[in-house]
Structure 1
Amino acid sequence: MKKLLLASLLSAVSFASSATIVEIKTSQGIIKVNLFDQQTPKTVANFLSYVGDAAYNQTVIHRSVKDFIIQGGGFTYSDGFDRITTKPAVINEPIYSNVKGTIAMAKLGGNPNSATSQWFFNLKDNSAGNPKLDTQNGGFTVFGQIMDDSQATLDKIAALVHCEEVPVVGITKDQCATISNVNLVSIDNMYVLDDDPNTAHDLLPVENTLIGKMSNDSSGSMAWLLGALLLVLPRLKRAK
């Protein structure tokens, strides 16, 4: 009995610490993400700590910009947008490039090491265009990439009606003043699908080759990726 209990505990510890594939169940479909555990360990550990605490469950996709990014991990919604509790910021690990289909950490402008809970999916190659996410603000840390048919879910979210930069369902642009939680894209739950830390061995992520060759630009639309939301959300009137 003691051996079985010990084995169970060891299995739980291993599961929590070495997870590599996470499934995100949203109201618009499933997104599967393969994490780069060994290449961006601090960022993956940070992300998985929120997953393990169920902190992302019942949060919403609060930002979607056409041909750019889809962002979540920061807010729930009841009578309005409420920030989730965050943990200490994680050290930046700008190893891989912000190309289409990757997931990266959002952060505050002018502070490369300010990422906490928020993340975004790149909808196109955002590495060296405008903005230059591979070099801006110390480079944005890519820590995984989507799998299977996940792009279809991202495309579905991107195609929704938007109130400012918030994707919504069931209302038109003229009805944004009546927005409620049922109109938002929700993350119902997020959990570890595969705990094998080696599942990324056959992936071919694009290396960030620009970070050491170009100056770290802190200007542009992504430098204030988190701060901009403070301007956007209050303008959305909430349903009474």
Structure 2
Amino acid sequence: MKNNLLLGFCLLTLSLSVSHIVKATVVEVRTVVGDFQVNLFDDVTPQTVNNFLDYVNSGAYANNVVHRSVPGFVVQMGGFTYNNAFPLDEVATGAPVVNEPELSNLRGTIAMAKLSGNPDSATSQFFVNLENNATVLDPQNGGFSVFGQVLGNGMEVVDAIANLSRFNFGGALAELPLRDYSTTDATNNVVPNDDNFVIITDIVVIDATRVTNSDLNPASNTLIDSSSEQPTNPDGGDSSGGGSINIVLLIGLALIIRLRYLRKTN
């Protein structure tokens, strides 16, 4: 009887480690081309989510601009604000957040951007994965910290942004998506304005219960320990995770405990 109880406890502990317990704050990203909602993974990546919500609650994302779009890769935002003038203003950032490389960069997930070669450098910028970018983004620079997932048909809005024409204004704006702006405009040095930028009017919390969409099952980052480094990093960012190592350790611990118990009973 005791032996069965011990085994049951070990299996329960193991099962809890294998699947992420997903509790969520839900935010809505409101843009001039449509809105989309994001389920945040509060319990899996708590520091990253708290960092993001600090910017949300401070109003830092009001009048933010989607400043980078790479078709088939990512759409990035969170770094620049349009205040009726160009060049854009940079978002005032706080202390960087510690990297939490737990989840995989699959289509529809959102992750933090950070500085190349510095896993713990994420501040305000984040991106939406347009495709399965796991093999590229999960292993490098400590992995890109996935901290949320786009809900419902929200990726239709993100895809619409990704389909816009892009223009090179240098630096972080080398792949800037613009509306109603042409190559002729660029050639004639026409300054883009609020009719052209993809502006995020605001990001707001619409459900703070942290039990919303608990049926989501985000994939673990299983590539965090691989050594491949790719040159296609999102500008300013990386993150990923090592749940498989914890599982192996738990299995080993369970076997040790069981063997010791059997020795004592023999």
Q: Return the letter of the residue paired with 2:192.
A: S
Q: How far 1:201 moved relative to its partner?
A: 2.2
Question: Higher helix fraction: Structure 1 or Structure 2?
Answer: 2
- 1:91-102 pair list within 5 angstroms: 91-102=98-109
Q: How far 1:19 moved relative to its partner?
A: 6.7
Q: Return the letter of the residue paired with 1:220.
A: P
The ranges of structure 1 where at least 4 consecutive aligned residues each deviate by more than 3 angstroms after the TM superposition are none
- Partner of residue 74, structure 2: 69
Q: Aligned partners of 1:211 and 1:156: how far apart in 2? A: 31
Secondary structure of 1:209's counterpart equals coil
Q: Is residue 24–residue 214 contact of structure 2 (8 Å, CA) maintained in 1?
A: no
- Partner of residue 215, structure 2: 202
Q: Is residue 86–residue 191 contact of structure 2 (8 Å, CA) maintained in 1?
A: no
Q: Return the letter of the residue paired with 1:184.
A: F
- Partner of residue 4, structure 2: none
- 1:68-217 pair list within 5 angstroms: 68-77=73-82, 78-128=85-135, 132-164=136-168, 165-176=175-186, 177-182=189-194, 183-212=196-225, 214-215=226-227, 217=229
Q: Is residue 48–residue 97 contact of structure 2 (8 Å, CA) maintained in 1?
A: yes
Q: How far 1:159 moved relative to its partner?
A: 1.1
Q: Is residue 31–residue 153 contact of structure 1 (8 Å, CA) maintained in 2?
A: yes
Q: How far 1:206 moved relative to its partner?
A: 1.1
Greater gyration radius? 2
Q: 1:95 to 1:200 in 2, by over 3 A?
A: farther
Unpaired runs of at least 5, structure 1: 1-17, 228-240
Task: Report the count of equivalent residues.
Answer: 204
Secondary structure of 1:178's counterpart equals coil
Q: Is residue 35–residue 200 contact of structure 1 (8 Å, CA) maintained in 2?
A: no
Secondary structure of 1:94's counterpart equals coil
Q: Is residue 134–residue 140 contact of structure 1 (8 Å, CA) maintained in 2?
A: yes
- Partner of residue 56, structure 2: 51
Q: Aligned partners of 2:36 and 2:221: how far apart in 1? A: 24
Deviations 1:15-57 (A, max 9, x none): xxx9700001001100100000000000000000000001001
- Partner of residue 6, structure 1: none
Q: Aligned partners of 1:154 and 1:193: how far apart in 2? A: 19
Q: How far 1:200 moved relative to its partner?
A: 4.3
Work out which of the residue numbers 25, 29, 32 in structure 1 matches 2:30: 25
User: Identity percentage over the alignment?
Assistant: 47
Q: Return the letter of the residue paired with 2:190.
A: T
Q: Aligned partners of 1:149 and 1:173: how far apart in 2? A: 31
TM-score, reference length from structure 1:
0.81
Secondary structure of 2:134's counterpart equals coil
Unpaired runs of at least 5, structure 2: 1-22, 169-174, 238-266
Q: How far 1:216 moved relative to its partner?
A: 6.4
Secondary structure of 1:34's counterpart equals strand
Q: How far 1:147 moved relative to its partner?
A: 0.5
TM-score, reference length from structure 2:
0.74
Q: Aligned partners of 2:48 and 2:39: how far apart in 1? A: 13
Q: Return the letter of the residue paired with 2:176.
A: V
Q: Is residue 60–residue 186 contact of structure 1 (8 Å, CA) maintained in 2?
A: yes
Q: Return the letter of the residue paired with 1:62.
A: H
